[in-house]
Amino acid sequence: MTDTAEPDVLDLDALRAQLRARPDIVTADAQLMEMVRAALASDSVVDLSSRQRRRVEAELARVQAANAALIELSKANLAAQAQCHNAVLAVLESETLSALDRKLDGRVSGALSVDKVRVLIEGCTPLAEGRALIGCAPDLVDALIGAKAERLGPVDTRFADAVYGPQGPGLRSEALVRMDIAGHPAALCLAARDQAAFTPDMGADLLHFLARVLERRIAPWLRA
């Protein structure tokens, strides 16, 4: 009966211990080192530290971008508040309806960086030759704004001439805010040649504030 030699079984624990004790077995062998480098460069080897670093870098870039956007938004909000405050001061400084009309046509439009300011008042003529305070036909405010409290976006070309006069065809965007002046339906109308000056996604809180100030300022003169 012939004895059959069993194949040698590789003792991994012993091999690891030997390599830890003598790393030069690998480092001194150029061929082995090349195989190690190839294995490390293979897609099958996951470098967890590099992946974590990339994840942290991506998150940092996202946070920095969000912070930059927040800072820009805050600056824009502060600038808009300053513009509205200057417009309100001009309104409050007006001692007569004619003076307010001139302020709206000049200083207020400049403070708000728009090309045209109009206050339309249905069913009355506040001034015989008003520049900004204009009487208009009944139901025009509803036609301009609809059932909403405001509308921001492109100029409604159907009413551009009636609202803004000769400058109407050259205006591209507008902000309209519903008003009630001494019981008369009315609207604050701001328009600009810049198509991006007013867009539907913009907030209108400051415009509503200005409209409320104008309501309280104009109403006593209409009742007088």
Q: Is residue 56 part of a domain?
A: no
Q: Is residue 34 part of a domain?
A: yes
136-168 tens-digit pLDDT: 999 999 999 999 999 999 999 999 999 999 999
- Structural domain that includes position 120: 82-223
CATH of the domain at 155: 3.30.450.40
161-207 tens-digit pLDDT: 999 999 999 999 999 999 999 999 999 999 999 999 999 999 899 99
Is residue 112 located within the same domain as residue 205?
A: yes
- Domain count for the chain, please give it: 2
Q: Is residue 18 part of a domain?
A: yes
Is residue 86 located within the same domain as residue 32?
A: no
C-alpha torsion 148→154→159→164, nearest 10: 110
Phi and psi at 193, nearest 5°, equal -75, -25
102-148 tens-digit pLDDT: 999 999 999 999 999 999 999 999 998 999 999 999 999 999 999 99
Query: Is the separation of the CB atoms in 154 and 168 below 8 Å?
Result: no
Which residue in 146, 148, 178 sits closest to 156, CA to CA?
146
Is residue 175 located within the same domain as residue 115?
A: yes
Is residue 31 located within the same domain as residue 114?
A: no
Is residue 30 located within the same domain as residue 89?
A: no
Compute the average pLDDT of residues 28-37: 79
User: Is residue 41 very low, low, confident or very high in pLDDT (cuts 50, 70, 90)?
Assistant: low
Q: Is residue 51 part of a domain?
A: no
78-87 tens-digit pLDDT: 777 888 889 9
Of 49-53, 83-87, 199-203, 209-213, give the lowest mean pLDDT range.
Answer: 49-53
